[in-house]
Every structure is written in structure tokens, then in C-alpha cells.
């Protein structure tokens, strides 16, 4: 009988140690999950703020202001507009506003400034 009691005592102690270990691991994982969720909320909030800042930086008025100040570009004027035609010179329309392709409004300004 003492062998059986000893075996049962060892089984109870082993299961108690296992139970304590499982509870500890469960609490540790719950704490990590909570930290990860808080980090996810913080990063999500930061992403939204960055998206708002990106939209503010990409407004056409801001881009135009930067083009004028930093790149020293100016609006297109007929005197400095360069017309580009594609294909053979004989089959391409002459340099007229009807058949020609103009460059972007601020893109030709630097070429005009060099003239």
C-alpha cells in the first residue's frame, strides 16, 4: 500500500507543479498579448497621423510653392513653351498648339530659365 500511496503522492505533486507552470505561462502570454495589442493601437494611430501629414504635404498648392521656391520653376508661358512632336518630322504636325504636345506647366520652366 505504501508504494501506491507514494506513486499517487508523486503524481499529485507533478500535476500540481505542471498546473502552476501552465498558469504562469498563461499569465505571461496574456501580458505579451496585451502589450502587443497596445503596440498595435499605437502604430495604427501613428499610421493615421502619417497619412494625414502625407495628404497635407501633397496638396497642389504646396507642391507648386516648392516648385517655385526650391526648383525655381515658373508657370508656362507661350514664349518659353517647348512643343514636342513624336514620329517622323514629315508626318508630324508643325509646331502648333493644335497638333503638338506641351510639357507639364512647371516642367518647362527650368528649360526656359536657361535660355
pTM tops 0.75? no
Structural domain total, the chain: 2
pLDDT per residue as tens, the chain (115 positions)? 899 999 999 999 999 999 999 999 999 999 999 999 999 999 999 999 999 999 988 888 888 888 889 888 888 788 877 788 887 655 555 554 444 444 444 444 444 444 3
Residue 64 lies in a domain: no
Residue 66 lies in a domain: no
In sequence order, what are the residues at sequence separation of 6 or more whose Cβ sits closer than 8 angstroms to the Cβ of residue 86? 92, 101
Domain that residue 33 falls in: 2-58
Residue 69 lies in a domain: no
Q: Is 72 left (phi over 0), alpha (psi -120 to 50) or beta?
A: left
Amino acid at each position: 500500500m505504501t508504494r501506491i500511496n507514494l506513486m499517487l503522492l508523486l503524481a499529485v505533486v507533478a500535476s500540481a507543479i505542471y498546473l502552476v507552470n501552465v498558469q504562469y505561462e498563461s499569465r505571461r502570454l496574456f501580458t505579451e498579448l496585451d502589450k502587443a495589442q497596445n503596440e498595435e493601437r499605437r502604430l495604427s494611430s501613428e499610421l493615421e497621423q502619417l497619412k494625414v501629414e502625407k495628404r497635407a504635404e501633397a496638396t497642389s498648392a504646396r507642391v507648386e510653392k516648392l516648385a517655385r521656391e526650391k526648383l525655381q520653376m515658373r508657370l508656362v508661358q507661350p514664349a518659353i513653351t517647348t512643343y514636342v512632336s513624336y514620329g517622323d518630322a514629315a508626318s508630324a504636325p508643325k509646331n502648333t498648339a493644335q497638333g503638338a504636345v506641351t510639357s507639364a506647366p512647371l516642367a518647362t520652366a527650368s528649360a526656359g530659365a536657361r535660355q
